[in-house]
Amino acid sequence: MMASSYNAKEEDGHHSGASGPGAAAVKSKKPDNTAFKQQRLPAWQPILTAGTVLPAFFVIGLIFIPIGIGLFVTSNNIKEFEVDYTGSDMDSPCYNCSSNYSWNSTSPCQCRIHFTLDQPFESNVFMYYGLSNFYQNHRRYVKSRDDSQLNGDKTSLKDPSKECEPYRTNDNKPIAPCGAIANSLFNDTLELIYNDPNGNFTPIPLVKKGIAWWTDKNVKFRNPGGNNSNLTSIFQGTTKPVNWQKPVFELDLDPDNNGFINEDFIVWMRTAALPTFRKLYRIIEKKSNMNPTLPRGNYTLVVTYKYPVRSFEGRKRMILSTISWMGGKNPFLGIAYITVGSVCFFLGVVLLIIHHKYGNRNTSADIPN
């Protein structure tokens, strides 16, 4: 008994760390005695009562519903017209082009689509091209670019980033611009012709400047050696992307819209988040306050078909749209505001009825003595 009691005490003193020479080496896990670590800081905890909850529901409903109605009406006032020119149907004017054209084709194919606008388009009209089933949000696709090269860095021009593989080099020459995004640049050419009642065909002037973000045009994208330099000599020793028909320094005759600062190229390089998207192609500016920008009547869309999409079951379309202070046509925001406001107002009414019926009951009478 004595030996057993002695061993137990010795073992307890060895492991407890409460006393003895090794006690100082054992650090206590108890938090410091401060207001923060002991959770003694002053706090405000709201008490939800009928007098605070019910007005909040009604106020949210009365604010959100008018805002939603305004957004929804504004969106519906935006005029939009869409033409699908994929050419997947046999009766489509672009069927032969879509069936026979590929990335290896050397001569472009042209098709014409006739359509009618039932109502005139006022103010400036924005022309978009739209693609479906095209996943620009794929991780490897999004990373396949060299931002230093696009910003005019001469070192990256001659030695592109490895992120651009397999579109980094071709025939032992660096590709400019490199990467999968640039390689898949949308290159269809769209023209619009108005067929007036007198039988005249009037081409609609399309403005190609001002379609890219200002920060992209003036900050993120620059030509090596400066935007006004001799691009032919600057890009000497590089080669065009595999799917391109001409090098980057021949994208446009205008020196302010050529090379890496070409706005069609810049718009394409801003990748879309969803597989169905649209990108701004041209702007149709209003010339006269007396006449609509696009009068009602018959039009012809002339498509130079150079972008094959049937290999991945994609679709192509041209969209004409006006805009408002809230941007393009998008009824979702208005519907969301109306829905949230209606739900809050409905819950406020329900809770008001419940409070009126049961809130003043003397619950103490239900408690047994």
Residue 318's φ and ψ, nearest 5 degrees, are -115, 135
Spans in the chain with pLDDT lower than 50: 1-18, 363-365, 367, 369
Structure confidence at residue 177 (pLDDT): 95
Rounded to two decimals, what is the model's pTM? 0.79
Which long-range contacts does 111-114 make (Cβ < 8 Å, 24+ apart)?
111/85, 111/87, 111/302, 111/303, 111/305, 112/300, 112/301, 112/302, 112/303, 113/83, 113/85, 113/300, 113/301, 113/303, 114/195, 114/298, 114/299, 114/300, 114/301
- The C-alpha atoms of residue 71 and residue 75 are separated, in whole angstroms, by 6
Structure confidence at residue 227 (pLDDT): 63
Residue with structure tokens 């006032």?
Answer: 77
Structure confidence at residue 187 (pLDDT): 92
Map out the domains of the chain as residue ranges.
49-78+329-357, 80-322
